[in-house]
Chain A
Amino acid sequence: MAFSRDAYLQGLRDVAPMMLGVAPFGTIAGASAASVGLSPLEALGMSVVVFAGASQLAALALIAQGAGVAVIVATTFMVNLRMAMYSASLAPWLRSLGRSTRAALAYLMTDQAYAFSVLRYRRLPDAPRRDYYLGVATPLWVLWQATTVLGAVLGAQVPPAWQLEFAIPLTFLAMLAPAVRDRPGLLAAIVGGGVALALDGLPHNLGLVLGAVLGIAAGTAADAARPPEPAA
């Protein structure tokens, strides 16, 4: 399939304003990695292999607590579960592409790549899909790796008294606020946070796992109990 420069550049233009928000986040990921003892190479390795900010920060917080691989991988699974939802939503649009192309696009999937692409595919069903997606996704990938290294190098110079590791929960807090949009979502957050706090200190971070599971169950139950919205 011929490369569509126009589609790529349109993706690049659409994602450009997002770069301002991603750059500090990548720097935080790098600095947090340094604050829990990772070298710049290890920080970059995590950003290249995983390429998913929230799960990287969660893993770093767990590494700092001395958690085992199983807990870290289970947390990664839960934090990134939304990607499966994006994957289901994008699948019909990418069906015509080859297997290795789809595998590569999947690796580059982010909140932004998903959101911009699916909106454009719905608006312009006949426009080139692969190269628009790449136009959104590849600049984010490059920026993420560059800012991770920047943060890891700068962060390693910062004395522990600055308590930079506290930036991790603060960043999660800023991500949580816009995610809570309705009552079931608020309930999921309150139950998830409450259970995790009450069970803090249990081995294997069971508090985190049980908090997440019970929070999801509470939100889902509240959603199911909600009266159906009147047909407009």
Chain B
Amino acid sequence: MSGPALWGTIVAMGVVTWALRASFVMLGDAGLPPLLRRALTYVPQAVLAALVAPALFAPSGAAFGPVDVRLLAGALALVVAWRTKHVLPTLAAGMGVLWVLTWLAQRGA
């Protein structure tokens, strides 16, 4: 994606995001139905997991022995994310393992 298609996508994303932010602030706060309010609570968990799982657990092509390099790096990052709940240590662990294993796998090949 590039040029006009990319800029069109960016503008569409911006409009949708602003509409969500402005919704009740601009139109008033009659209040959400309780079921919808409850469902909104679980949006971040479901969406983030749906974004993460295929990126970490689907085969990437680079393998270390029988195991996918990204799967190993992702599994360790999962543990670090769970323990620290912070971005930087999670990134350091995941990228560090990915780089080391990729280098080892290439040397072995």
Residue of chain A at shortest CB distance from B12: A73
Closest chain B CB from A148 CB (angstroms): 13
Q: Is the CB of A194 within 8 A of B81?
A: no
Is the C-beta of B25 less than 8 angstroms from some C-beta in chain A?
A: yes
Given contacts A109-B21, A177-B85, contact A212 B50 (CB under 8 A): yes
Q: Inside 8 A of B21's CB, which chain A residues have their CB?
A: 80, 83-84, 86-87, 106-107, 109
Q: Inside 8 A of B55's CB, which chain A residues have their CB?
A: 61, 166, 168-169
Question: For chains A and B in complex, what number of residue pairs have CB atoms within 8 angstroms?
Answer: 275
CA distance A72 to B15 in the complex (A): 13
- Size of the chain B interface, CB-CB below 8 angstroms: 68
Closest chain B CB from A196 CB (angstroms): 4
Residue of chain B at shortest CB distance from A37: B2
Given contacts A25-B87, A107-B18, A189-B49, contact A173 B13 (CB under 8 A): no
- Size of the chain A interface, CB-CB below 8 angstroms: 97
Is the C-beta of A76 less than 8 angstroms from some C-beta in chain B?
A: yes
CA distance A215 to B17 in the complex (A): 22
CA distance A177 to B88 in the complex (A): 13
Q: Inside 8 A of A77's CB, which chain B residues have their CB?
A: 16, 20
Is the C-beta of B72 less than 8 angstroms from some C-beta in chain A?
A: no
Q: Is the CB of A174 within 8 A of B85?
A: yes
Q: Is the CB of B77 within 8 A of A173?
A: yes
Is the C-beta of A124 less than 8 angstroms from some C-beta in chain B?
A: no
Q: Is the CB of A90 within 8 A of B25?
A: yes
Given contacts A90-B25, A212-B46, contact A169 B58 (CB under 8 A): no
Segment 11-64 of B: residues with Cβ below 8 Å from A: 11-14, 16-18, 20-26, 28-29, 31-32, 35, 37-58
Q: A56-B13, A82-B44, A84-B21 are in contact. List 15 more A-B contacts (CB 8 A).
A: A21-B86, A46-B10, A58-B47, A76-B16, A80-B21, A87-B21, A107-B21, A163-B95, A170-B77, A174-B90, A175-B48, A194-B53, A208-B51, A212-B43, A218-B42
The 24 sampled A-B contact pairs (Cβ below 8 Å) are A45-B10, A58-B51, A69-B8, A75-B51, A76-B16, A83-B17, A87-B24, A95-B29, A102-B22, A166-B55, A169-B74, A170-B81, A170-B91, A173-B90, A174-B77, A174-B86, A176-B44, A176-B45, A188-B42, A188-B46, A196-B51, A197-B57, A200-B58, A223-B42
**A contact set with B: CB distance below 8 Å:** 21, 24-25, 28, 37-38, 42, 45-46, 49-52, 54-56, 58-59, 61, 63, 66, 69, 72-73, 75-88, 90-92, 94-95, 99, 102-103, 105-107, 109, 161-163, 166-180, 184-186, 188-197, 200-201, 207-208, 211-220, 223-224
